[in-house]
Structure formats: structure tokens, C-alpha cells
Amino acid sequence: MTEPGPAAAAKPGLNQPRPDKPDTLRLFFALWPDDTTRDALNRTGKWLHQHWGGRRMHADTLHLTLAFLGSTPAGQLDDLAACADTVRADAFELALDRPGYWRHNRIGWLGASRTPPQYAELASALNAALQAAGYSIDARPQVPHVTLLRNTAGGEPPACVPVCWSVGDFVLAASRTEAEGARYEVIRRWRLT
């Protein structure tokens, strides 16, 4: 039997990290819009951009965060999925009808003037499961919103057409930063009843 040469030893193996498999992922749970909802959110983003300026979010990145985990070891994906598997929640209708602006981080967003109880139950159940598994969660009250603009001057919120979203599932997603901005990948989905 011959010993592997230097070229063979340089290839990623069982004990070496693979360049295409990151050790950590920037993860979050979210509501992910269907195509129709995404188009409506994107139109609202264009409308707000005309009034407030800033940098519009890419249409394919629009989402509503339920729980932000941040930099997480890739090996914990199964644990996170197990947390989400325990969540039982009903599907619901979400009316995003209130544009807003946060001066401290210069974000323009579209939120709900009325939070459906099913949304609160979903967010609460998911965060409780994550906390029980040892993940740190943001204890602040949930403010359901979709970020549409970054680095915006903001101003008086203009009236806009409400976006009606039939929420039927939630996702675990990963974020990676590229030169043109953040890109997101849905890792797994969970249906709501």
C-alpha cells in the first residue's frame, strides 16, 4: 500500500474543513413571502424609496424575521430544526399597512397596525422552544415588519396600499454578505396548520 502524496493530503477530507461548507452560518427564522406577496412588498419598497430615498432591499431578500440567531455553528442545524418541529401554530392573514422609519438605524419598513394573535403565538412558541434548547433570544416585544429600505433619510410616512399576506409557513434561512448586499437562502420550511 502506498502513502498518499502531498496533493492527496491537501484535498478536504473527513477531518479537514471543506471550503464550500462554512463552519458557521448567520441564521434566522422568518416568514417568507410567496411570489405575489413579494411583488406587492417590492412595489411598496419602490413607493417608499420615491419619498425617502436610501437603498432598496432586493426583492428576493424580503422577509419578516421571527427569531434572529446570528452566527451559529453549522453543526447545530439539526438542533434548530428539532426546535421548530415542536412549534404548533395556525396559518393566518397578515395585513402590512403601516410604513415606518427607525432613525437610529436608518431603516424604512412596512409593518402591521394590528398584530394577529396567531403571529404572536407563532413567535412566542418558536422563541420558547429556542430558549428551552439553550439559544439566546431577543426578549423585546415582537414588532412584525418587513425591512424595505436601508440608509434612508425617512420622514413623514406616506400613505401606501396595504399588503395582504396569507401566511402558511415559516422558514429557517441563512444570510451571507456579498459585495452587492445580503443574500439569503431558505434552508427548511415548516407548514402552519
pLDDT digit string (tens) for 108-164?
999 999 999 999 999 999 999 999 999 988 877 778 999 999 999 998 988 889 999
Per-residue confidence (pLDDT) for residue 140, from 0 to 100:
75
Which residues form the catalytic set? Answer: 63, 145
Helix then strand then coil, in percent of the chain rounded to 5, is: 30, 35, 35
Distance separating alpha carbons of residues 83 and 155, to the nearest angstrom: 40
Q: Residue 44: inside a domain, yes or no?
A: yes
Residue 182, in any domain of the structure: yes
Length of the chain: 193
Domain membership flag for residue 186: yes
CA angle 80/38/105 to nearest 5° reads 70
Alpha-carbon span 161 to 43, nearest angstrom: 9
In a domain, residue 10? The reply is no
Segments of the chain assigned E as strands: 24-31, 55-56, 64-73, 92-96, 98-102, 107-111, 145-150, 163-167, 169-178, 181-191
Residue 112 lies in a domain: yes
Q: pLDDT tens, 63-77?
A: 999 999 999 999 999
Please compute the mean of the pLDDT values over residues 46-70 and round it to a whole number.
Answer: 95
Number of domains in the chain: 1
Helices 77-85 & 117-132, crossing angle to 10 degrees?
130
Does 4 fall in a domain? no
Domain of residue 86, residue span: 23-191
pTM score, whole prediction: 0.84
The CATH number for 95's domain is 3.90.1140.10
The answer as to whether 94 is a domain residue is yes
Report how far residue 63's alpha carbon sits from residue 34's, in angstroms, rounded to the nearest whole number.
10
